Amino acid sequence: TGETAYAKMEKVNAELFLFTYGALVSQLLQDLNDVTEVNTQIEKMGFNIGTRLIEEFLAKSGVSGCKSFEETGETIARVACKMFLGVTGYTRNWSADKQTFSLVIDENPLCEFVEIPEHAHGLLYSNIICGVIRGALEALQLIVQVRVLKDVLRDDETNEFEVKLIQVNEEQFFGDDD
Amino acid sequence: TGETAYAKMEKVNAELFLFTYGALVSQLLQDLNDVTEVNTQIEKMGFNIGTRLIEEFLAKSGVSGCKSFEETGETIARVACKMFLGVTGYTRNWSADKQTFSLVIDENPLCEFVEIPEHAHGLLYSNIICGVIRGALEALQLIVQVRVLKDVLRDDETNEFEVKLIQVNEEQFFGDDD
């Protein structure tokens, strides 16, 4: 479970992480001076981070493979969120074909202490999470699109991400044949 | 103690932090294209982070004030390092006047998974720690200089930082008179 995996991992102070991430976003805002471009960059960085975190996830979580995309979604919400962010999320709004869902993180620690300045209107501060999910799943041969639907930093009541399965690459997935 | 404070704090996965910090440094290298400038920037970011982390430190560590700079040094090594990085450091090479010491962190988690690329020769990857110490102490009215003496990423056998007390500002320090 998420709790067990969380207990097993090496951890650092949450604020150290939050302030470091804040410094990264500020730096990008200053350098790129274009909010849309910053959003893209943040997502790309998240993608790279996700492709590396997946190994840690597989090593420590005890999760060995998901039988369906629904199970993948639940695993992200209940195990991965707890493991990496220290909070548990949940899914909702599954499409009829079970290929799209919302990941909800009511208490997104990433957004603590953050205020988006006026000149950065439109900044998707949590876009790194979209990238991490996309990168981690792509490493598992699941091609997905992820986007921010709701964001407390934009005065929504929660943080919600839409995750949409686009394609399942053949090799390795479900890992039974090799 | 460091252990108690560490247990009390909100924490995130260490690798998430490390990869995020790695992304920050890569971004700076790419944008500034000058290793010396990157070292300066990293230290400045650390300074800003330190001025904010000190509040968390005072709130959670139970440390209420140090009677001497020696005690300050030991507190950084034994309590603050554990609290924020999850590892314990130690001090050595105290100057005769007790105004300068080395902080040694044998297992600096910041350096895990990192290799400095050829084109970034001279990069002080741990310079953020110099900045954090400088920022946190300046918030306590202690003006210090901090520099990297040894760095495992530069093939030294450990990570060592020199911390030198330059000036004690009058107001608030030692907190007994106000």
CATH 3.90.870.10 is held by the domain A2-168: no
pLDDT of residue A11: 84
Dihedral angle sign, alpha carbons of residues A31, A51, B36, A25: positive
Q: Which residue has the tokens 């720690």?
A: B129
pLDDT of residue A172: 52
Confidence band (pLDDT; 50, 70, 90) for A13? Answer: confident
Cβ pair A27:B23 closer than 8 A: no
Q: Which of A12, A45, A83 comes nearest B17 by C-beta?
A: A12
Cβ pair A17:B15 closer than 8 A: no
d(CA B144, CA B135): 9
Tell me which residues of chain A, numbers 29 to 48, contact chain B at a CB-CB cutoff of 8 Å.
Answer: 31, 41, 45, 48
Helices H / strands E in chain A, number of each:
6, 5
Average pLDDT over residues A52-77: 92
Average pLDDT over residues B27-54: 93
Domain ranges of chain B: 2-168
- Mind listing the pLDDT tens digit for each residue in B70-126? 999 999 999 999 989 889 999 999 999 999 999 999 988 888 888 898 889 999 999
Cβ pair A53:B24 closer than 8 A: no
Q: Give every CB contact of residue B9 below 8 A, 6+ residues apart in sequence.
A: A13, A14, A15, B56, B60, B83
Is residue A57 within 8 Å of residue A9, measured between CB atoms? Answer: no
Q: Give every CB contact of residue A172 below 8 A, 6+ residues apart in sequence.
A: A140, A141, A178
Q: Chain B within 8 Å of A16 (Cβ-Cβ)?
A: yes
Cβ pair B23:A10 closer than 8 A: no
Residue A147 one-letter amino acid: R
Burial class (CB in 10 A: 0-12, 13-18, 19+), B70: middle
ipTM above 0.85, yes or no: no
For B45, the closest chain A residue by CA position comes to A23
